[in-house]
Structures are given as structure tokens and as C-alpha cells.
Amino acid sequence: KKMEKFNNEEEENLGIWKIKKIYKKLSSVKGNGTSMISLIIPPGDQLSRVQKLLSDEYGTASNIKSRTNRLSVLSAIVSTQNRLKLYQNIPQNGLILYCGTILDEFSKEKKVTYDIEPFKPINTSLYLCDNKFHTNILLDLTQEEEKIGFIIIDGKGVLIGLLIGNRKEILYKLNVDLPKKHGRGGQSAVRFARLRVEKRNNFLKKVSEVAAQYFIPDGNKLIVSGIIIAGSADFKNNLGLSDFF
């Protein structure tokens, strides 16, 4: 059962609900022997590496003494390999796969396979063959993560983004070419200095407005627990004194 990618808050809430449902179903099931595979693949990993890992595990499992357990483990590995063949690449946020033979409520054996595309990136890598599914990763996905806003600003531009747990999300980027200090004297220098200050102020005003759109979308409540301002001392200090803060 493939999951869609989640882009906005409403879809993320739906994603959390689906993950909780799967967690409730899989966290309590048990199996005979050790034929329940938990496979967690982080974003950026290579399918070829994971397929090689599974091939190596198949070779190791071929030596399991118990015939029943050996066949169950080999069957689970093959099912996992087959499910991975449906993917050309690891999805953007990684992939979680549970596969194996479980015991249902009547203690009858039942083969199950779940492939889950998380709604946010995962940074865990795991392969385990056990008598249960390792589902803590699903619980972690449903936890609320602290959001901190950041603004990096200097005379060349600005970068606005979010730090969410151990992830970084870029919200806005703008490059500018502000005039440098003028070396010549006379009236032109005064006019140039005035224009320079005007352009810097317009840039800072624009940054304040954009930051407000992202961090105070309803105009009243800050949606982050804090904001970090970094970059050129002159710009970040002036931004810190603006109406936005």
C-alpha cells in the first residue's frame, strides 16, 4: 500500500493519521521464528546497495538449521526484493518496508508486506529480521518537532528558512546587488549615500515583510518557537531593530 507525498499541513495531518493506524496494526503482531523483516532506507541511499544487502542476507539465511524458519526467512527476503523492484529510486523522504509471516488473531500464519513513503525525511538506516516488526520509526514520525525560523542576511542577499528537528527547509531566497560605499566627495557623494541608505532600507523592509508572511502568516501568532538571525553584523542588527521584531 503506497503512500502519497505530503506537501501541506492538511496532508501532513492525514499522513500522521495513516502512520498511527499502521503503527497500531504492526506494533503488536508477532511471528513464528525470525521471518519478519524491518527495512528502513534513508533518502539518498542507493537501491543497488539495499538489493545487495538483501542478496547477502539471503545467502546467510540459507544456512538456518530449522527448515521451517529457513523457508519463512527466505520467502520474506524474496518478497522484500520483489517489492523494492517497484521502485526506480529511493523516494524523496526515504522508504520504510515491513515484510514477513505474522500470526493473526487465530494464530494462523499470514504473509504481509507494507511499503511506506514517509511524509517527512527519515535519517535512520535499518535491516532486521526478527519475530516482530521494529516500528519505533513510525512512532517517531508522528511526534511534533520543534520549528525554529532562521534568516541569513548580508549585502548580497537573504535566505529565510526553517530548522525542523534535524532538517533544514529553505522557504525564500533573494540575491541583491546593493551599492557599496562611495569614495568620491562633493554633491554626488551625498546623493549616492542617500540612495545607498534608501536601497538598504527598502531591502530590509522587504526581508521583514517576507519573514512576517512565513513566520506570522495570520498576522498575529508566531508559528515558530524562535528566530535566529545570522550574517553581516550591520544588516542583522538593523533587521533586529525593525518593526517585525
List alpha helices for 43-154, DSSP H: 47-61, 67-84, 136-142
Q: Measure the CA–CA gap between 99 and 37, rounded to whole angstroms.
A: 5
Cβ contacts of 108-112, under 8 Å, gap ≥ 24: 109/31, 109/32, 111/75, 111/79
What mean pLDDT is predicted for residues 166-179?
A: 87
68-86 pLDDT per residue, tens: 888 989 999 999 999 999 9
pLDDT at 115: 93
Q: What percent of the chain is predicted at pLDDT more than 70?
A: 92
pLDDT band at 6 (very low <50, low <70, confident <90, very high): very low
What mean pLDDT is predicted for residues 197-203?
A: 89
Q: Measure the CA–CA gap between 78 and 1, rounded to whole angstroms.
A: 18
pLDDT band at 5 (very low <50, low <70, confident <90, very high): very low
CB neighbours of 17 closer than 8 A, spacing ≥ 6?
none
Where does residue 133 fall: left (phi above 0), alpha (psi -120 to 50 degrees), or beta otherwise?
Answer: beta
* Residue 219, amino acid: G
Q: Measure the CA–CA gap between 136 and 117, rounded to whole angstroms.
A: 15
pLDDT at 9: 66
What's the number of CA atoms in the CB half-sphere (13 Å) around residue 113?
12
Question: Which of 209 and 34 is assigned the larger pLDDT?
Answer: 209
8 A C-beta contact, residue 126 and residue 108: no
pLDDT at 89: 92
pLDDT at 1: 39
pTM check: above 0.85: no
206-244 pLDDT per residue, tens: 999 999 999 988 888 888 889 999 998 888 888 877 766
What mean pLDDT is predicted for residues 191-213?
A: 88
Q: Burial of 7 by CB count in 10 Å (0-12 exposed, 13-18 middle, 19+ buried)?
A: exposed
Task: Provide the 3-class DSSP secondary structure of residue 12.
Answer: helix
Strand partners, 113: 99
pLDDT at 83: 94
Where does residue 53 fall: left (phi above 0), alpha (psi -120 to 50 degrees), or beta otherwise?
Answer: alpha
90-147 pLDDT per residue, tens: 999 999 999 998 888 888 888 899 999 998 888 889 999 999 999 999 988 887 778 8
Q: Measure the CA–CA gap between 177 and 159, rounded to whole angstroms.
A: 15
pLDDT band at 2 (very low <50, low <70, confident <90, very high): very low
pLDDT band at 13 (very low <50, low <70, confident <90, very high): confident
> Mean pLDDT for the chain?
86
8 A C-beta contact, residue 44 and residue 85: no
